[in-house]
Structure 1
Amino acid sequence: MQVSRPPESNRLNHPDIASHAKMLAAPDPRPVGISHGRARVGGARSALRARRTVRQYYERVIHTPLHQLLGVGPGPLTEQMIDAAIAQGLVESDRLDWKKHLPAERDFKTSGIVKDVAAFANSGGGILIFGVEENQKAASGRVDAGDLNESYERTIQAVSYSAISPPVIGVRSYKIPAAGNDRLAAIIVPASVDGPHLIFDGNKQSFSAPLRVNSDTQWMNERLLEASYRARFEAARRGHEHLEALYIDMTNSFDPHRNAVLVGVARPRLLSPNPKRRKQPEIAALTAKAQDDAWYWLGQGDYQPLTDVTGYGARPGLRGWIVPPTERVSWRRARAAIFDDGAVGLVWEAGGHRYGANGANLPAHHVPADAVEGFVAALLALIKTVSDDAPAGDVELLVGVEWMPSEYTSAGNERLVFEPAYDFVRGGNSTTTLGGNYRPVHRVVDPSQEETVYLQTVVDVAIDCLNQAGIRHLVRLSTDLPARW
């Protein structure tokens, strides 16, 4: 089965974003054919040669409590920052804790660090710095923190999930480069909307909720626990309402009465008090990077919506940017949105695609399964790219297919139909959903995961989307991908 595509993909080629275009060499048009859902790519791509530079450019820029207390802008944690804190005698606070040594890796789960992680999560987040002596809570000197290797980092992640209930998502550990023999390390704990976080007290044989109060860790009483649970449930309710409102807005940006539409939205569960205002060139660069990631995840395939938007044509919206379609009239129009608070939206006309060996257009209510996979890959690539640019913790998403024909049209009684990629073994009959309507898939994802782990999440979301349509197997997305160049 062949999937037709526009002759040229959307690239960074606008003079306004020349500085960002240096990172992504403009490649030749991508001649892609899909046979039974697998992409075939011809020729070497200059974009792949530039991928390492792109990943370095988008290396996560952090802004920790230590940065804020020192009056330093976003950037990596450095030895110079630690030395400056010692010179100033920087005092511990409700967001900063000095530690001398990392506990032995095998003892980490039973150490007091677990209580500190839960306490920071219950108190708006914080940072633990290892390798610093303190005197009366003030930083006074350097010591050797110990070795924070990859195995230890995995242990910290695992313990944050298993020893704290509910798990603290997004805990990150860093080895801070140091010139001398005294090593430095840090554990950054994000704020959480899932509080109160409880740890098991072996002495009392009960669960307790620690709380950071100034430079000390205390335990929540009944009233604080009640307030914490109430805040969690209220935040979840408001967040889901905002997510559904964004879903409706993205749906209505096209016309689901005329054509079936793939819709996806996502929003950080915990909003930053300082949302990042971006400029148009940054939006173009983010869009292009997300397009490249989706292309890689799809086995080097361009049949996805980010090839059908023009990043350099982004226009301002309410606290964000709207990325318009490459073509105003097309069988593959798409639109993306990137907001200051980290929310994103994506919409793609899903019906009427040119499909099959003869390139004929499908009916308005027929959606190719290949398109669903491409849409999920593009949406989650956009989520990860925006999150990497401004980390905001775990993200709540909705993805669905909207088809609302008027009963007065010829398509008024037509159910939504999905066209699987034909397979000689499994067959390829058209399918529909139970009841004829598509229920949006809801999920919480962690964009801070390593790409190999995050890719499994992408696959899982795509499987949920297609299983609902009666399609069992993916044909484009896979976790078994070649190494990036």
Structure 2
Amino acid sequence: MARSWTRLHEFLGSPPGPVTYDMVAEAVQRKLGESDDLDWKQKLPPSSPVKGEWNEFAKDVAAMANTRGGLLVYGVSDTIDMVGLDLSTVDDKQLGQWLRVHLQPTVSGVSYLKLAATDGSGKDVLVVDVPASETAPHFLYGWQDKDKGKTTFNAPFRHRDDTAYMAEHQVAAAYRDRFGRQDAAEAALERHVQHTTDLVLSESADRPTAWLIVAARLSRPIPRMVPQPTHAQAKWVIEQGTKRARVLLDRAVRMPRLLGPQLFPDLLSKDPRKGLRRWVDTNLFVPAWTSSRRGVLLEMHHDGTVVTAVDLSLDALPANRPQVELPVISWCLVSAVFETVALAHEHRQALQPESAMDLQAIVRTHARGSRFTPVVLGFGRPEVAERARQPTVLQPAFGELARFADDQTLIATASELAEGLLHQFGLDMPE
């Protein structure tokens, strides 16, 4: 998936969106110089490199991925003049094969944009969009004549408008950066969960309540320079997310209809308000609502993060049935997890990043020492799950949503996350 914010967008002042031929043509006309994330290329890579030979295309892709991502634009001369190329000769499958053969590890998520001329010049271009890589450094191996036929193994990177090769200390730093990014991503996800936990627990201090908190964060968040989503875009994401969640739930499990097909559409206004670099939709913190409605919180952060919280204990059992100290409604949990995964996916799609998402789900309460007691449907009515475990502490469940996810992938991701919590009660997904 091509990125929606590149050097061309920044230079031209364009809003986030796909790279177009007109954008390339204007950048060329205005003589935008090369940089660490933009490389003009006059000719396509040779179509039949000798096996084992140094592959210039793989080198250029690895250099971009090892730096911060960028664009390789073919059909533009070194003097930044539009010369064009024959798009019929572009074989993106072969280009992808070169990356798999010549790079270790390979660079994933590379997009090939074949842009036909829109100005009648016939000077078409190929834009290769390389994302910044989570698995850098990437090494290129092969042989070159200048190396006297010896096989070499180097990690290229972009330095301003040139390509160089990492020294040993730079390779070591790149590995530290990779592992540091992973640690920082885990810590950031946990901060979102803890912040939301503190918020929602303050809303239910008068009664024991089990809250489900789900956080989804891009492995590589959207840069702050990217324009923030508008109110209309945030509303659209919520609408699309609820539609997709309905499809996923209908395909995955036969959900009960005691609370409606879903939680969020029934309990939220679907009219998000501004927050701190985020859009927020909630029925919490509003005195007229909090006493009569199941608490729900939805946050869509400008960097692509989505966080939700749902009260799993309100009206768990009918008034004429025995109450339990800390009920957890199993079908609410499953529905909320599926809806969060669907919303996170739609939010990511709207922002058009190239990153995977890290997920965490946890059930928390302020009533320390109380036993979480699962409530299921028995003969069409809520009742305490027979012989289920009733732990006092639940471990968080983790998951990952791949860059390119279809409905089946979304179902598998949401199911894994929900089961990670249900299995701690000894329960399977609702049937």
The answer to whether the superposition gives a TM-score over 0.5 is yes
- Counterpart in 1 of 2:63? 119
Residue 323 (1) aligns with residue 267 (2): no
Question: Normalized against structure 1, the TM-score is what?
Answer: 0.69
Using the alignment, how far apart are the partners of 2:399 and 2:20 within structure 1?
Answer: 36
Residue 171 (1) aligns with residue 133 (2): no
User: Residues 63-102 of structure 1 correspond to what in structure 2 (within 5 A)?
Assistant: 63-99=5-41, 100-101=43-44
| Amino acid aligned to 2:228 | R
User: Residues 406-445 of structure 1 correspond to what in structure 2 (within 5 A)?
Assistant: 406-407=368-369, 412=370, 414-417=371-374, 419=376, 429=386, 431-432=388-389, 436-445=392-401
User: Residues 452-467 of structure 1 correspond to what in structure 2 (within 5 A)?
Assistant: 452-467=408-423
| Alpha-carbon offset, residue 390 of structure 1 | 1.8
List runs of 5+ in structure 2 lacking aligned partners: 144-148
Match of 2:179 among 228, 233, 237: 233
Q: Deviations over 1:6-50 (max 9, x none)?
A: xxxxxxxxxxxxxxxxxxxxxxxxxxxxxxxxxxxxxxxxxxxxx
Identify if the C-alpha distance between structure 1 residues 469 and 88 changes in structure 2 by more than 3 Å, giving closer, same or farther.
same
State the identity %. Answer: 23
Contact 1:303 1:371 in 2 (8 A): no
SS in 1 for 2:200: coil
Match of 2:234 among 269, 279, 283: 283
Residue 265 (1) aligns with residue 215 (2): yes
- Counterpart in 2 of 1:399? 361
| Alpha-carbon offset, residue 364 of structure 1 | 5.7
| Alpha-carbon offset, residue 134 of structure 1 | 1.4
- Counterpart in 1 of 2:132? 191
Using the alignment, how far apart are the partners of 1:468 and 1:208 within structure 2?
Answer: 47
Between 377-386 and 67-76, report the one with greater CA deviation.
Answer: 67-76
Q: Root-mean-square deviation (CA), in Å?
A: 3.9
Identify if the C-alpha distance between structure 1 residues 143 and 156 changes in structure 2 by more than 3 Å, giving closer, same or farther.
closer
User: Residues 338-349 of structure 1 correspond to what in structure 2 (within 5 A)?
Assistant: 338-349=300-311
Using the alignment, how far apart are the partners of 1:220 and 1:277 within structure 2?
Answer: 35
| Alpha-carbon offset, residue 83 of structure 1 | 2.8
SS in 2 for 1:293: helix
Contact 2:316 2:329 in 1 (8 A): no
SS in 1 for 2:67: coil
User: Residues 142-153 of structure 1 correspond to what in structure 2 (within 5 A)?
Assistant: 142-146=84-88, 152=92
Using the alignment, how far apart are the partners of 1:170 and 1:208 within structure 2?
Answer: 21
| Alpha-carbon offset, residue 385 of structure 1 | 1.8
| Alpha-carbon offset, residue 315 of structure 1 | 3.2
Between 77-86 and 374-383, report the one with greater CA deviation.
Answer: 77-86
| Alpha-carbon offset, residue 288 of structure 1 | 2.0
Identify if the C-alpha distance between structure 1 residues 73 and 337 changes in structure 2 by more than 3 Å, giving closer, same or farther.
closer
Q: Deviations over 1:56-112 (max 9, x none)?
A: xxx998222223334433333222223334434444332112343366699999843
Identify if the C-alpha distance between structure 1 residues 388 and 355 changes in structure 2 by more than 3 Å, giving closer, same or farther.
farther
Using the alignment, how far apart are the partners of 1:263 and 1:101 within structure 2?
Answer: 49
SS in 2 for 1:134: coil
Contact 1:127 1:186 in 2 (8 A): yes
Q: Number of paired residues?
A: 401
Identify if the C-alpha distance between structure 1 residues 77 and 309 changes in structure 2 by more than 3 Å, giving closer, same or farther.
same
Between 298-307 and 199-208, report the one with greater CA deviation.
Answer: 199-208
Using the alignment, how far apart are the partners of 2:403 and 2:156 within structure 1?
Answer: 27
Contact 2:82 2:123 in 1 (8 A): no
Identify if the C-alpha distance between structure 1 residues 144 and 472 changes in structure 2 by more than 3 Å, giving closer, same or farther.
same
SS in 2 for 1:266: strand
Q: Deviations over 1:130-154 (max 9, x none)?
A: 3x04135x344111133668xx46x
SS in 1 for 2:83: strand
| Amino acid aligned to 2:280 | I
| Amino acid aligned to 2:394 | Y
Contact 1:352 1:361 in 2 (8 A): no
- Counterpart in 1 of 2:347? 386
| Alpha-carbon offset, residue 374 of structure 1 | 1.4
Q: Deviations over 1:402-455 (max 9, x none)?
A: 244245xxxx3x2443648889xxxx855337x653211223323554455444
Residue 134 (1) aligns with residue 77 (2): yes
SS in 2 for 1:73: coil
| Alpha-carbon offset, residue 220 of structure 1 | 0.8
| Amino acid aligned to 2:426 | G
- Counterpart in 1 of 2:225? 274
| Amino acid aligned to 1:190 | P
Using the alignment, how far apart are the partners of 1:332 and 1:112 within structure 2?
Answer: 59
Using the alignment, how far apart are the partners of 1:70 and 1:108 within structure 2?
Answer: 41
SS in 2 for 1:67: helix
Residue 224 (1) aligns with residue 185 (2): no
Using the alignment, how far apart are the partners of 1:287 and 1:64 within structure 2?
Answer: 26
